[in-house]
Each structure stands twice: as structure tokens, then as C-alpha cells.
Amino acid sequence: MKTFTVEEISQIVGGMLTKVQDVKISQIAPPLLSDENTLALALGEEEIANLAKSKAKAALVPLGVQIDGLTTIEVERPRLAMMKLLNVFYTAPEVNKGIHPTAVVHESAKLGENVQIGPNVVISHDAEIGDGTKIMANSYIGGGAKIGKNCFFHPGVNIGDRVEVGNDVILHHGVSLGADGFSFVTENPDNIEQARKDGEIKEANQKHVIFKIPSIGAVKIGNNVEIGANTAIDRGTIENTTIGDNTKIDDLVMIGHNCKVGQGCLIVSQVGIAGSCVIGDRVVIAGQAGLADHIEIGSDSIVTAKAGVTKSFPEKSIIVGIPAMPRKDFIKQLKTMKDAQEIFAKFRKYEPLLKGFEENVNNDHNS
């Protein structure tokens, strides 16, 4: 078990130590789950209040917070400090040394130094695996795929043919890179084409044969990318689908063929991005947002949760609603709806007077 002094913890997080007593720290936890050898993580107001009921003798707190009788380490960015501590206490999943005897590695594949391959992994022809990469059980690496250095693939990862993955990439359970894109064509114009052109469906197709469009592109993942469990990124039709350096993608995300995602993006769970979208750098796309095909989102934009994005937006946009619109327009729309409710309430209040006025007018006309 790892044990640290409060002085060592303070140095790790770059904090300001107010020491009341010597404390040996062997774990970290919220205040209510902490004991005498636990560093209580009091990152917000509720956790700070819970320190009064905690058994902890030391706590990590925001800058400016001091608790009488408690050793504290003050930090300017508590969540950043927590990340540093979690890296210290984290224990990585174990991977067998070398190549497991049940793994199947094609004779033409090239493996770098200190590569670790788990049980039942299949590495196909002409694949390349960089130095220090670890691939856990039941994963598949397709023909001609190129995997960079110091990557970590959790169990059940599937990498298609010719996919390229950069250095220091983490892929979680069940990630799929390089499946064929959802790309089809009909011999004659179909209902979707009619609706896009004319805004209506004029007639039903009696015979509707759908032809698959093959995908001959691949997927290219940049450096220091992390992709969550059961996320799928499809290969391009002709060009590659690309994900930029330092982008982080959550579980259960779908990114369609031909998409270009920039650097430093954050894409949250259950986002769906249709084919041929272009996402700029440092874009945040919140949970369950959906993007229609062939649209562009400019750099440094935020797409809020459950937004239904049907058109392109420039850089530094805050995109809200269904159908999505700029945040300021959304707020204006809400205000208009509120004003309309007030106007309607006033109308209902004076409706009897209006009816009386109309009856008097009608009586004057009839007399």
C-alpha cells in the first residue's frame, strides 16, 4: 500500500499546507468515507461542510479554506489537484509480459520493443505495433493497421484494416475503429432526396433497391487521444475519418464516415455525428447531442446537451435546442414565450369585457 506524508502530498499537488499534526495518507476519499489515514477531498461547499462529520485528520480544500483543528492542503484548482493524486494512487490493469500463447500474430506483422499482447488477441498481416503498446484480451488489429507507441487497448477493441492510431492513445472496452460507413444509394431518387429538395414527399417508391457504397478510406487517430467504451468511428468512403491530437471521446459515441474532428475536443456520451461533418479545435459536444451530415462546427464552440444540430455554426458559438440555434436566440425565444404567456393571461382576464363590448356593438348594428 502506498503511504505519503502530508508534506509529500502538498508537493505533488503544488498546494499550500497548513499542518496541525503529522498524518500518514494511504488513500483518498470524500469526507464522509474518510478515516484517519485518508486525505478527505473537500472540493466543493457540500464536501467542506461534511468535514465536520468526517474522521479524516487532513483534507484537500480550495484556496482560502481553513478548518480549525484539521490539517489542510489548499489548492487553486481542486479538480486538477485531484487528478494528480488519482494518478499517484491509480493501479493500471495488469497485462501479461510479452505475447500470450493464445494470441495469433501474423508472420508479416511488426511488433516494437516491450509490446504486451493479451490472450486471444489477433494481429493481422502487415500490422505495425509501436514500442511499449499494451493490447488486452480478445482484441483484433486489422491488416495494415499502424498502432503508435505507448498505447493501451482494453479488452475487446476492434481495429479495422489500414486504421492508423497515434502515440499514447487509450481505447476502452469494445471500441470499434474502421467499420464501414453507413453509406448507401438508390437507383432512383428516394423519399429522403425528395424531402430535401421539395420539403415534401410527393409519391411513394414502389420498388426500392438500396445499394451499399463501399468504404475504401480508413480512420486516423491522433496522439494522446482517449476513446470510451463501445464507441464506434467509421472509416471514410474515400478519404480518412480523422480525430485530432488530445481529443477525448466518451462511451457510446457514434462518429460517421468522412468526419474530421479537430484537436482538444471533448465529446460526451451518446453523441451522434453523421457523416462528413467537420468539427473544429477545442469543441465541446455535450451528452445526447446529434449532428446532421455535412455540417461544420467552428473552433471553440459548445454544443449543449440534447441539441439537434441541422446547420453549420461559426467559431465560438454556444449552440442550444432542437432545432439548434445560438444561445442568445434561444434565450430570446424563451423570453418571447414567457411574454406571450403574460399577454394570454391578461387576455383571459379581460375576455369577458371584450365579449360584452362585442355584444353591445352587435346590438347597436341590429337596432
Nearest to 141 by CA among 125, 119, 118: 125
Range of the domain at 360: 336-367
Are 84 and 32 found together in one domain? Answer: yes
Nearest to 241 by CA among 267, 214, 275: 275
Query: For the chain, what is the mean pLDDT?
Result: 91
Residue 101 domain flag = no
Kindly tell me the burial class for residue 229, based on how many C-beta atoms sit within 10 Å of its own C-beta (0-12, 13-18, 19 or more).
middle
Are 345 and 319 found together in one domain? Answer: no
CA pair distance 127, 105, nearest whole angstrom = 9
Residue 269 domain flag = yes
Are 57 and 157 found together in one domain? Answer: no
Residue 153 domain flag = yes
DSSP collapsed to 3 states, 169-228 = CEECCCCEEEECCCCEEECCCCHHHHHHHHCCCCCCCCCCCEEECCCCCCEEECCCCEEC
Q: What is the pLDDT of residues 158-167, one digit of tens each?
A: 999 999 999 9
With cut-offs at 50, 70 and 90, classify the pLDDT of residue 362: low
Kindly tell me the burial class for residue 354, based on how many C-beta atoms sit within 10 Å of its own C-beta (0-12, 13-18, 19 or more).
exposed
Are 143 and 285 found together in one domain? Answer: yes
Greater pLDDT, 324 or 92: 92
Q: What is the mean pLDDT of residues 123-152?
A: 98
CA pair distance 236, 214, nearest whole angstrom = 9
Are 308 and 176 found together in one domain? Answer: yes
How confident is the model at residue 54, as a pLDDT? 94
Are 112 and 31 found together in one domain? Answer: no
Are 271 and 340 found together in one domain? Answer: no
Are 283 and 350 found together in one domain? Answer: no
* Whether 298 contacts 316, CB under 8 Å: yes
Question: How much of the chain, in percent, has pLDDT values that exceed 70?
Answer: 93
Are 135 and 270 found together in one domain? Answer: yes
The CATH number for 312's domain is 2.160.10.10
| 106: annotated active-site residue | no
- Of 125, 257, 294, 365, catalytic: 257
Are 114 and 80 found together in one domain? Answer: no
CA pair distance 320, 324, nearest whole angstrom = 5
> Amino acid identity of 245?
D
Q: How many residues does the chain have?
A: 367
233-250: b or e for each residue (b if 16 or more CB lie within 10 Å)? bbbbbeebbbbbbbbebb
How confident is the model at residue 73, as a pLDDT? 95
Residue 99 domain flag = no
Residue 137 domain flag = yes
Residue 83 domain flag = yes
Q: What is the mean pLDDT of residues 170-182?
A: 97
With cut-offs at 50, 70 and 90, classify the pLDDT of residue 344: confident
Q: What is the mean pLDDT of residues 116-125?
A: 97
Are 123 and 261 found together in one domain? Answer: yes
Judged against a pLDDT cut of 90, whether residue 322 lies above it is answered with no
Instruction: Domain count for the chain, please give it.
Output: 3
Q: Provide the 10 A C-beta neighbour count for residue 8.
A: 11
Judged against a pLDDT cut of 90, whether residue 1 lies above it is answered with no
Are 80 and 184 found together in one domain? Answer: no
Name the strand (E) or helix (H) holding 310.
Answer: none
The CATH number for 17's domain is 3.40.1390.10
Q: What is the mean pLDDT of residues 113-136?
A: 97
Residue 265 domain flag = yes
Last residue of a domain, one of 44, 61, 89: 89
How confident is the model at residue 112, as a pLDDT? 97
How confident is the model at residue 50, as a pLDDT? 94
Residue 23 domain flag = yes
Q: What is the mean pLDDT of residues 302-322?
A: 95
